Amino acid sequence: MDLAKFAIEKRLVSALLTLVILLLGYVSYTSLPRFEDPEFIIRSAQVITPYSGASAEEVSEEVTDVIETAIQQLAGIKKVTSTSSAGLSKVTVEFTIAAAKTRDILAQKFTQLRAKISDTERQLPPNAGTPQVYDDYGDVYAQYYAVTGDGYSLSEIHHYLDTLQRELVLVKGVSKVIQIGVPQEIIYVNYQPSRLIQLGLSASQIAQVLEGQNLVVSGGSVKAGNLRVVFRPGAAVSSLQSLEELVISDPKGGRSFRLKDIATVTRGIKDPISKRLYRDGKPAIGLAISNVLGGNVVEMGDAVRARIKELESLRPVGIDIIPVSEQSESVRISVNDFVLNVVMALGIVVGTLLLFMGIRSGLLMGGILLVTVAGTLLGMNLYGLDMQRISLGALIIALGMLVDNAIVVVEGTLVRIHKGESPASAAVAVVNQTKWPLLGGTVVGFLAFSPIGFSPDGTGEYAGSLFWTISIALLFSWLIAIWLTPYYCTVMLKGEKASKNAEGEQEGAFLAAYRKLLTFALHYRYVTIILAFGLLGLSFAATPYMKQGFFPSSTRAQFVVDYFLPEGTDIEQTQNDTAKIAEHIRGLPGVTGTNRMAGGGHPRFMLIYDAGSDNNAYGQILVDVKGYEDIDPLLTSVREYIEANFPAAFTKVWKFKLGPGGGSAIEAKFTGQDSVVLRELSEQAKRIYAEAGAVAVKDDWREMVKVIRPRIREENMRRLGLTQGDITKAIAAHFSGTAIGVYREGDELQQILFRPDEADRKGAETLQTIQIFNSGTGKYIPITQVVESFDTELENAQLLRENRALAIKAQADPAPGDNATDLFARVKGKVEAIDLPVGYNLKWGGESGDSAEANAGLASTMPLGFGAMVLVVFLLFNAVRQPVIIWLTVPLIGVGIIWGLIVTGTALEFMGILAVLSLTGMLIKNAIVLIDQTDLEISEGKPRLSAVIDSSVSRVRPVSLGVLTTVLGVVPLLWDPFFKSLAVVIIFGLSFATLLTLIVVPTLYSVFFRVKGDETVKEG
């Protein structure tokens, strides 16, 4: 079917289709989901198993190993990592992308995981807890607030948030609402040990009384006439006063006591305290809200804020809800900025076309571009893409490329009109002449992006929408060029022959100069080729001066302070230190607020943010600043303050990164079987880091911790009828208390803890006063009768494993002014020179490892993409020499790329590598257009040298305009850190490559086809 002829003959249909495309494009723009970053699936789940009383080594051997063995039996496992700490096993399983491509398949994998873990429960030690599988590990809480209240306790704030939480979870678009930093209320029953010993009572006796009084049990029912009436006894313990009045009986002594006679009942917060949040120094509770899968985070955020405002009457005066991170606002700003960039790019492209093609042609091209953009948005909506950093960037990249096909059609139509043809016949003839070469060039153009579209790693999934967006855009631009553009030409272009004007003379002078230069290059063809590729060789020789990178820093107006005290430090010390640091930070210029967490990190409020594990010795401060430009000087200032005032601590002050990755920039991972050997290898690597000027030098095992180990007199213990468990429980009861029941208050259950008065359990010196209750005799036995001594020892606080082997990471970051690539180059050789014992291995992680993994993903799909591009070019020409000429010119893009990056001081980051791939497609497309015209003119009988020169001259304008619109279209991206590397590569690479291509392609053609210098007149 001749689409061009159809569009011209059915003018009303063409006009209506244009309006439909514009309307549906606008509807798609308003309805497309919006996110800050692309949604990618976190294919991980955690299996958490408590094993109270066990050391890290015991947890690793008796629990973690069993869980890991079960998990490894599942298909599609990418990696299994684990952290075994005192009393707790955490095993994280990650599935491959190939095994869990969609969320539905991933859900099936999680179901299989649960079944496998359930089957292994009987293999665990008797006193190990039930393993729990958490598959919401990757949930992102797009709206994150700190709720404070002057004059209110955290418990009172929590009660208000319970009400708010129930309302917000019903808001459209909301998936989950959680609270962070909620204090756990405990009912403490404090007693004097001497009094309990005197009365001969034990904690278990009191627990039995509470259990019977406070259990919810069925009271049965009775028939009363035609009704069945249920008995519903009231709670025996309905208040703290009723708890104090409970009667405790001693069956052996025949005595009874009220609980208040032997103990004091109080309400308090669990000791030691758990993770706490502070906003600008005020105690707060975090309120985190996640978005439903695929929902519009902007609409969800607006709906949440609107609902909070509607419920204003429920909020007590003095309680404030302060945003910590509102992704809806970030996305709104980000999308608006990108839309502004798109509008700027659109204006630049249209302005360029108006300048070089005249008013009518320029307006025609601007209209075609608008229709193509609308069609692209429609295609994105139909394909299920969304608006986020990558897809919007792809739109900007595509803007300049979108007009390439239409420029060829419009330019060819103008040439024929100037020769006297009507616009209709001229447009149809040009489309029929160029549609297949244009399709070949278009396919090659988007195939250049295919390596990222099909990359099998996480980075490919993150940036994959770049390929699909550009593919949709380019294919639609080709369709518009061969279908509706001829109709637009008949509307906008006049049929009379254009008269020569000043613009034409100026253009003629430019083309005349190009003709002379090309003729000179063809005369000295071999010198021209040597010079071109010599320049390329010189450029590659300069690559050591080119910076390298992975993903750039974010422009988010926040930075992070990670604060670590020695492992085993009490959380109160962490809280006090971070409070002083946060107070200092708030006094620095540019800082607008601090969000401090003691005992752990913040929830995952960004997809690319991964919170650290809960740890009493760890604190994190999220610092708000006026603008991201203020961050760099603050990083150094804050780090120096902490190092000077808190010498016992380790700290890392860092900015958010764009793209996947995270953790330390430099990571050397040692694996083996002996923890002592691994720690020594890590220490060697850390010394190398420090000597190289790195900062934040640490390892992920942290320090060893002190433990008190009782030396038990085995014979005495057995003679007195005690067990090691009795001794351990007595020590735990003395310092931590014994859970003797629960207290029901509304919809909450509060633990009742039976423990000695503070004076009797304060300090390790009270160990000698502990009494052990013998349930057989009903008497207390001094611990000194069964424990010889209490020795202090060191043990690992945690053991980390990866794929069943112990693994320790020696980590570091570059100092301010340094970069990860240079630091890695300085330490790589020395670390790899460390003598590894047999059975031990070294693998690099961090930014280098992430970059290597991402590049490996690209490398695995690159042969397919480039193979398809080569195939398309060969099929297009049905010959060998033309494709060889085209591919020989591809390396010339390196000239502009290398010098552009060096001159601007821009690092070649991952997005820059993608731009290199895209330039390949752009350059090939230009070369296809050029060579196809040369072949056409030769086939029409023109002498070959004249055909080479004339076809090159005739294609200078469309090729140059295509390049110019592409280059100018990405100019707005120079101010976006994420796309700056890509923009520099395209601007410099395409500009210089095109200049060289317009000379080198004709020259290579003359060499390969042995075009003689006298083939300028017809023979015979």
Q: Would strands 591-598 and 618-625 be described as parallel, antiparallel, or unpaired?
A: antiparallel
Residue 508's pLDDT is what? 67
Report the distance separating Cα 356 and Cα 363, nearest Å: 12
Domains and CATH numbers, the chain: 1-31+358-495 (1.20.1640.10), 43-137 (3.30.70.1430), 202-216+235-261+706-796 (3.30.2090.10), 509-545+879-1019 (1.20.1640.10)
pLDDT tens for each residue of 298-335: 889 999 999 999 999 999 999 999 999 998 888 888 77
Q: What is the mean pLDDT of the chain?
A: 86
- Count CB atoms within 10 A of the CB of residue 735: 15
Q: Which range, 150-164, 235-249, 817-831, 945-959, has the best average confidence (pLDDT)?
A: 150-164
Query: Which tokens is 1006 given?
Result: 């003359």
- 531 pLDDT band (50/70/90 cuts)? very high
Q: Would strands 174-180 and 247-250 be described as parallel, antiparallel, or unpaired?
A: unpaired
| Alpha helices (runs of H) in 215-265, residue ranges in sequence order | 240-244, 259-262
Residue 375's pLDDT is what? 94
The residue to which tokens 């103008």 are assigned:
414
Residue 498's pLDDT is what? 47
Residue 27's pLDDT is what? 94
Return the minimum-mean-pLDDT range out of 39-43, 46-50, 397-401, 496-500. Answer: 496-500
Contact 521, 528 (CB under 8 A): yes
- 965 pLDDT band (50/70/90 cuts)? confident
Report the distance separating Cα 699 and Cα 679, nearest Å: 9
CA 758 to mean position of chain CA atoms? 47
DSSP one-letter code for 646 = -
Closest CA to 427 of 474, 495, 346: 495
CA 75 to mean position of chain CA atoms? 25
Residue 212's pLDDT is what? 63
Return the minimum-mean-pLDDT range out of 34-38, 409-413, 613-617, 670-674. Answer: 34-38
pLDDT tens for each residue of 646-703: 998 989 898 888 766 567 889 999 999 999 999 999 999 999 999 999 988 999 898 8
User: Is pLDDT of 236 > 70?
Assistant: no
- 434 pLDDT band (50/70/90 cuts)? confident
Higher per-residue pLDDT: 854 or 831: 831
Return the minimum-mean-pLDDT range out of 95-104, 215-224, 766-775, 837-846. Answer: 215-224
CA 510 to mean position of chain CA atoms? 49
Residue 510's pLDDT is what? 80
Residue 1017's pLDDT is what? 52
Provide the phi-psi class of 281: left if phi over 0, else alpha when psi is between -120 and 50, else beta: left
pLDDT tens for each residue of 252-298: 667 788 888 888 889 888 887 888 999 999 999 999 999 887 778 88
Return the minimum-mean-pLDDT range out of 82-91, 232-241, 280-289. Answer: 232-241
User: Is pLDDT of 505 > 70?
Assistant: no
Residue 1019's pLDDT is what? 45
Report the distance separating Cα 767 and Cα 782, nearest Å: 10
Residue 711's pLDDT is what? 92
| Alpha helices (runs of H) in 879-943, residue ranges in sequence order | 881-889, 893-904, 910-939
- 213 pLDDT band (50/70/90 cuts)? low
Torsion of CA 201, 206, 209, 215, to 10 degrees: -160
pLDDT, mean of residues 20-35: 90
Residue 852's pLDDT is what? 74
pLDDT, mean of residues 946-972: 84
- 246 pLDDT band (50/70/90 cuts)? confident
pLDDT, mean of residues 915-928: 82
Residue 382's pLDDT is what? 93
Where b means 16+ CB within 10 Å and e means fewer, 864-902 reads: ebbeebbebbeebbeeeebbebbbbbbbbbbbbbbbbbb
Where b means 16+ CB within 10 Å and e means fewer, 210-237 reads: beeebeeeeeeeeeeeeeeeeeeeeeeb
Burial of 253 by CB count in 10 Å (0-12 exposed, 13-18 middle, 19+ buried)? exposed
Whole-prediction pTM? 0.80
The residue to which tokens 């293999």 are assigned:
123
Output the CA–CA distances (angstroms, integers) from residue 999 to 173, 324, 885, 900, in the order listed. 57, 57, 12, 21
Return the minimum-mean-pLDDT range out of 48-52, 459-463, 599-603, 1008-1012. Answer: 459-463
Contact 734, 770 (CB under 8 A): yes
- 637 pLDDT band (50/70/90 cuts)? very high
User: Is pLDDT of 504 > 50?
Assistant: no
Q: Torsions phi, psi of 708, nearest 5?
A: -100, 125
Amino acid at 732: A
User: Is pLDDT of 496 > 50?
Assistant: yes
pLDDT tens for each residue of 352-397: 778 877 788 888 888 888 899 999 999 999 998 888 878 887 887 7
Residue 497's pLDDT is what? 52
Report the distance separating Cα 145 and Cα 137, nearest Å: 20
